[in-house]
Amino acid sequence: MHEDDSANALLPGSRLERYELLCPLAKGGMASVWIARQLGKHGFEKIVAIKTILPQFSSDPRFRRMFLDEAHIAAGIEHPNVAQILDLGEQRDLLYIAMEYVDGDALSRLSRAAERKDLAVPTGIVLRILADACGGLHAAHELRGRDGQLLGVVHRDVSPQNVLVSTKGVAKIIDFGVAKARDRLAEDTNAGVLKGKIQYMAPEQAVGKPIDRRADVWAVGAMLYAMLAGKPPFDGPNQLATLHRLTSGKPPMPLPPSVPKPITDVVRAVLTHDPDRRIPTALDLQHALEEAMNRTGLGATHTEVAAFLREHLADRAAARKQAIDLALAAAAERARVAQVLAMPASDSASGVSHPAVTSTQDIPSLHDFIAPQSEPPTAHGGTDAEKPIPIEVVEPATSPRPRWPIVAGAAAALVIAGVVAGAVRGRASPPTPSAPERATPSSPEPMNTAATPASAVVEVVTAAASATAPATAAPTPDPAPAPATSVTSASTTSGSAAKPKASAATTAAPKPSTWKKIDDGF
């Protein structure tokens, strides 16, 4: 993978402008699909699906044109049986499409789930799903340009994989990635390349002839045949053999006798090699399927389709819900921590924002939040215990503020006051008889304990000693009277006993750290 590709690699929590990726949903040969949430002002959010071109193709002009074509074509289709296109964007050369999130599964997965239980999808369920699909296809086929002319849209890949069945029982057509249209940016320049799945491909499409909406009509008929017979209408041991049978001009094998005649007649009218003899439009096919349901009494409602989906794919629905719930919880935690750190959790203006890719406006990742740091950073990027820090607001209200500056200041004041008072009293008192007065007036005078109580002197000296490491020795005083000597001895003894207390008062305890709390929380 190129350096640019790795930079655009997507992860849960990545941001594509106003969309935050939550968890991956599917991945194909050209694109990946994510469940995401659209973020807006005043707390607005909406679950959507985000389809992104794979990073390794993001710089390929051909793939980019195909991706853009899909967005432009599908965006114009407004129908309840087509997954809606909401937005098209690009960030750091990475194209993405925001789409309606359809909570459900593909028809192919529903069919396989039934097969694993040796069951077939009931005929009524099949007819309801495919009739819905016809409605969506007809809306696509009728898409017109600004000039009012038909765009000639052909899906070209109508298959069970591209029919989603929602948990509400509604079928929706998806993936117009290889759709044909009049004003496509990407021209069909790859001669001999088949676009679509051979098992459901119309004969004229398989041999490279011009196609129109009737190719999609054939594909719906091929799906109906496969769901009723248990295999595609033209099936071989490999794709080449399948292609040979498809283009041979022979009709498919008859459907099982259990299939009612009205339904068999519809299949026969669709799977006709000559497009001119085929049911012409998806709307006509929808009407034919509805009539067959009425005539056979095998119709199904959306509620019944939803019930069948829950019966056979409930585990997948539960897994999707759990994945979304967990992803939303993680996203909420990221936003909470970002708010605590006073770092914006939204409004990323440039760059794919995620833990692995950073820009000046990216959301911080969880890795950033729990990274070990000796001290919280200041606004200038360094560390400074005396300056307010951005995360000060999250400290417990009862946390004591460091008191050592106050204690140190008081200690210094008491020391100065004691020295001054002692000097004044020393000069005012007569010389002690037992100690003759020295001739040198500049010599330091012994401290008079009458000015400062011994306990206060001990407390101050001890505090000052603890605040200054290593302790510096004071100048040796001149010989003092016996009482002064006893006070000095008492001061030394008391200072030794009081040292632990002074250490606790002058050494600030570590600040209750938000970083530690975050580390414990994750």
Q: Among all residues, which ones are annotated catalytic?
A: 157
Radius of gyration of the chain (CA): 41
As a whole number of angstroms, the distance between CA 487 and CA 483 comes to: 6
Inter-residue contact 85 to 97 (CB < 8 Å): yes
Dihedral class, residue 421 (left if φ above 0, else alpha if ψ from -120 to 50, else beta): alpha
As a whole number of angstroms, the distance between CA 21 and CA 154 comes to: 31
Beta partners for residue 16, in sequence order = 19
Letter for the amino acid at 333?
E
355, exposed or middle or buried, with CB in 10 Å at 0-12, 13-18, 19+? middle
Sign of CA dihedral 465, 468, 472, 478: negative
Inter-residue contact 59 to 7 (CB < 8 Å): no
Letter for the amino acid at 345?
A
Q: Taking the CA of residue 504 as centre, how many other CA atoms within 13 Å lie in the half-sphere pointing to its CB? A: 3
- Considering only CA atoms, which of 161, 175, 173, 163 is closest in space to residue 82? 173
Q: Give every CB contact of residue 460 below 8 A, 6+ residues apart in sequence.
A: 411, 414, 415, 418
Beta partners for residue 329, in sequence order = none
Inter-residue contact 74 to 136 (CB < 8 Å): no
As a whole number of angstroms, the distance between CA 166 and CA 489 comes to: 90
As a whole number of angstroms, the distance between CA 459 and CA 450 comes to: 16
Q: Where are the alpha helices (DSSP H) in 177-238?
A: 203-206, 213-229
| Backbone torsions φ then ψ of 154, nearest 5 degrees | -130, 125
- Considering only CA atoms, which of 165, 146, 19, 152 is closest in space to residue 83? 165
Torsion, CA 264, CA 266, CA 269, CA 271, rounded to 10? -70
